[in-house]
Amino acid sequence: MFWEDRFRAVCDEVILCTDDGSAGMKGFVSDGVERAIAAHPDIDEVVAIGPLIMMKACAEATRPHRIHTTVSLNPIMVDGTGMCGGCRVKLGDTVKFACVDGPDFDGHLVDFEDLMVRLRRYANEEKVATERWSETCRMRTLAATAP
Amino acid sequence: MAKKRTIRTIPQQRTPAREQDPQIRRTNFEEVALGYDDAEALLESQRCLLCPEPGCIAGCPVGIDIPGFIARIGEGDVRGAYDVLARANLLPAVCGRVCPQENQCEGVCLVGESLEPVAIGRLERFVGDRAIAEGFARRPYIEPNRFRIGIVGSGPAGMACAADMARAGCAVTVFEAFHLPGGVLRYGIPDFRLPNRVIDAEIAALQRLGVVFECNTLVGRLFTIEQMIDELGFHAVFVGTGAGYPTMLGIPGDQLNGVLSANELLTRCNLMRARDFPNVDTPLPLGRRVAVVGAGNTAMDAMRVCLRLGAEQVTCVYRRSPAECPARAEEVHHAEQEGVEFHWLTAPVAVLGDFGGGVRGLRCQRMMLGEPDSSGRARPVPVPDSEHELDVDLVVFAIGTNANPIIGQTSGLALNKRGYIAVDDDLATSIAGVYAGGDIVTGAATVIEAMGAGRHAARSMKAYLGLSDPSALRVPGDPSASLFGLTPDQRNFVRLRVA
């Protein structure tokens, strides 16, 4: 856990969540959101930034309460300047480019399922590149330690 | 004195340009058209009738003195030919390769009325390549002034504007969002049509004029247009950010993983070197059977890139007929030679997905041509009961682009209703000192038109800054009409802004 002190310095209330309960409450972020909503019925907005599955769970947690939920999306982009269209995101019936139209969107409109499929687009290539990267790293280490 | 040339005495056949064999070139990214050598250029230059009232000059968007430079080639004076070309066109090696000459100069060539027109584009390229090889573009004498010019975007419009402002003595900085300058020349046009070394040479020529390129700088996000004027100390700014925002068709399934824009494919392959994967980390969506929707130059580039990446079958799907196809004739011809299948009068209806989020096919319907629409082209109408499926695993949309929204979102520049920057006849925008030109004003057009706009904006900027145009011919006349070489119009424009 790092920067907890910094968060506490600027927040009225901080709810930490860990999967194993080693710090703060035991549970997912969405459980923390539920708890906050239960404690404060006057919450106006929820902002969720992190892994897709977490943002999706937060949006689902706030949906029954009709609390406006902003999520920050990270689809695959080539240039990030609105030029490739690779980062298109389904928002209800419309399609937006996360790089120039976002990256912050209304979490209740985002099609998370679609986004998760799109994020896996290059899963195989990512694996190859990671392996190649570790390989060159290992070679570099070997070269550096060789007599 | 040589005998006067007539349509009967000139070489009847257009000098063929040597090309890589289609079966070999579809496996490599080397340049397809190899260009003229001295003898071929000389022979082709003899086909120009040197008309007293040439149509070709009017057919050129920047008004190159075409008979002038061709005559110099005929005299063996390539340096002289370059000087004539460079007066109007700063990028002859680029424009000779990518201009749609058949709709411009060659389309109105008098020889073309009875024979094949003079190969003006190939001759222009010959001169441009020679200029690069022999370093014709030497640094002219530049009288420095204290004005600083900021240019947003390093594509053809920005490059042309930068060159003219640097020659006028201004300190020019070009901001480019990507890690390499060149704009669409770099990310869009593949190496086999416009090799990187040509772009590098043009950029180096600008750097010799003193132009500074700041790459990896996204104007609008790092700083705004207003900040460039108010805080960064630029006296005038030119916006040439292009129309790079791709259009998707909006048919069912266009969200699938095997569907992408031609911009994405080309940027990954050209700028990001994905074709060298896994030696570079950029992955590329490889298709075994590819359908490209659209038939413009970008579509041709996308199809030919897919072939070179190893696709077994590449299909062009276009809803109109070959007559309406907007690509350069040479590109269509090259694509056909390389084995692209053209499905004319065919429109996509839906992209069909497999279970993993990928593509298994493209459902299309046949079209027939109806009444002309607002663009003057025959409107395609669907043929009833003509739906059929193409067996493809990658669908590429090359159906045009829109204005990039970043500058509009982040500045107070007035836009027109289509999202492009609104300008007056001098290419001045709604903010004093800020000019715009190229695709971000007109919508997607050609390299040469963007270049022409960059130079037009440079003329206006010089007037705005009170700089006289050193290339303008001034005839001494009534002294009251001229003050320090400025016309009364220009004088009213002079703003004394101290650097």
Which residues constitute the domain of residue A113? 44-121
Task: For residue A76, tell me if it sits in a domain.
Answer: yes
**B232 and B329 both lie in a single domain:** no
Strand partners of residue B434: B237
Q: Is residue B315 part of a domain?
A: yes
Q: Residue B284 pLDDT more than 90?
A: no
Residue contact A132–B250, C-beta within 8 A: no
pLDDT in tens, B65-83: 999 999 999 998 999 999 8
The pLDDT of residue B22 is: 87
CATH number of residue B88's parent domain: 1.10.1060.10
Residue B257: list chain A partners with CB under 8 A: 117-118, 120-121
Q: Does residue B490 fall inside a structural domain?
A: no
- Looking at the structure, tell me whether residues B356 and B414 fall in a common domain: no
- Give CA–CA dist B203/B223, Å, rounded: 24
Number of domains in chain A: 1
Cβ-Cβ contacts under 8 Å, B250 against chain A: 95
* Residue A89 lies inside a defined structural domain of this protein: yes
- CB contact under 8 Å between A125 and B277, yes or no, is yes
Most confident of the ranges B8-12, B232-236, B279-283:
B232-236
pLDDT 10s digits, B204-234: 989 988 999 999 999 999 999 999 999 999 9
Give the pLDDT band (50/70/90) at residue B472.
low
Residue A7, chain B, CB below 8 Å: the answer is: no
Contact B250 A85 (CB under 8 A): no
Among B290, B262, B295, B112, which residue's Cα sits nearest to residue B189?
A: B262
And the tokens for B72?
Answer: 């110099």
Q: B283 at the A interface (CB within 8 A)?
A: yes
pLDDT digits (tens, 9 = 90+) for B130-155: 998 888 866 677 888 889 999 999 99
**Which among A84, A100, A118 is the nearest to B406, CB-wise?**
A100
Give me the mean pLDDT over the A5-26 stretch: 89
Residue B356 has pLDDT above 70, yes or no: yes
The total of structural domains in chain B comes to 3
Residue that finishes a domain, picked among B134, B168, B185: B134
Residue A147: band (very low, low, confident or very high) from pLDDT cuts 50, 70, 90: low
E strand or H helix that includes residue A97: strand A94-97
User: Which residue from A minimizes the CA distance to B257?
Assistant: A118
Please check whether residue B160 touches A, CB under 8 A: no
Cβ separation of A95 and B250 shorter than 8 Å? yes
- Nearest chain B residue (CA) to A101: B405
| Residue B308 lies inside a defined structural domain of this protein | yes
For residue range A58-105, what is the model confidence (pLDDT) as tens digits? 999 898 888 899 999 989 988 888 888 889 898 888 888 999 888 999
Query: Is A128 in the B-facing interface, judged by CB distances under 8 Å?
Result: yes
Residue from the list B244, B278, B356 with its beta carbon closest to the beta carbon of A83: B244
| Chain A touched by B178 (CB under 8 Å) | yes
Residue A113 covered by a domain: yes
Confidence band, pLDDT 50/70/90 cuts, at residue B289: very high
B125 and B40 together in one domain = yes
User: B180: pLDDT confidence band, cut at 50, 70 and 90?
Assistant: very high
**What is the pLDDT at residue B1?**
45
Residue A139 lies in a domain: no
**Structure-token match 């209800």, residue found:** A92
CA distance A132 to A137: 8
The answer to the question of residue A12 being in a domain is no
Q: Using 50, 70 and 90 to split pLDDT, how confident is the model at A146? A: low
pLDDT at B496 over 50: no
Structural domain span for residue B294: 289-398
Q: Please tell me the total number of residues recorded for chain A in this structure.
A: 147
* Contact between residue A87 and residue A76 where contact means Cβ atoms under 8 Å apart: yes
B427 within 8 A of B434, measured Cβ to Cβ: no
pLDDT of residue B5: 81
Residue B498 has pLDDT above 50, yes or no: no
* Residue B436 or B26, more confident: B436
Nearest CB partner across the interface for B257, out of A83, A85, A121: A121
Q: Are B88 and B63 in contact (CB under 8 A)?
A: yes
Q: How far apart are CA B94 and CA B87, in angstroms?
A: 15
What is residue A26's DSSP assignment?
E
A134 located within any domain: no
Residue B499 has pLDDT above 50, yes or no: no
> CB of A81 within 8 Å of any CB in chain B?
yes
CATH number assigned to the domain comprising residue B394? 3.50.50.60
- Of residues B412 and B474, more confidently modeled: B412
Instruction: State whether B406 and A82 contact (CB < 8 Å).
Output: yes
The pLDDT, as a whole number, for residue B155 is 93
B406 exposed, middle or buried (CB, 10 Å; 0-12, 13-18, 19+)? buried
Among the partner-chain residues B244, B255, B283, the one whose CB lies closest to the CB of A114 is: B255
Are B111 and B46 members of one domain? yes
Provide ipTM, 2 decimals. 0.82
The DSSP secondary-structure symbol of A110 reads: B
Token reading at B441: 């004003």
**A61 in any annotated domain:** yes
CA–CA separation, B366 and B318 (whole Å): 10
A143 lies in some domain:
no
Q: Check if A100 contacts B (Cβ < 8 Å).
A: yes
Residue in the block written with tokens 């927040």: A11
A/B interface, count of CB pairs below 8 Å? 82
- Which of B351, B369, B398 terminates a domain? The answer is B398
In the predicted model, is pLDDT for residue B466 greater than 90?
no
| pLDDT value for B497 | 45
Chain A residue numbers touching B356 (CB-CB < 8 A) = 117
Do B447 and B369 reside in the same domain of the chain?
no
Query: Which residue of chain B comes nearest to A117, CA vs CA?
Result: B357
For residue B306, give how far its alpha carbon lies from the nearest alpha carbon of chain A (Å): 17
B5 is a domain residue: no
Choose one of B372, B398, B424: the last residue of a domain.
B398
Spatial contact of B345 and B367, defined as CB atoms under 8 Å apart: yes
The answer to whether residue B234 sits within a structural domain is yes
**Any A CB within 8 A of B216 CB:** no
* Rounded average pLDDT over B9-21: 87
B6 lies in a domain? no
On whether residue B377 sits in a domain, the answer given is: yes
Q: Which residues pair with B214 in a beta bridge?
A: B175
Read off the pLDDT of each residue in A22-31 and give the average, rounded to a whole number. Answer: 87
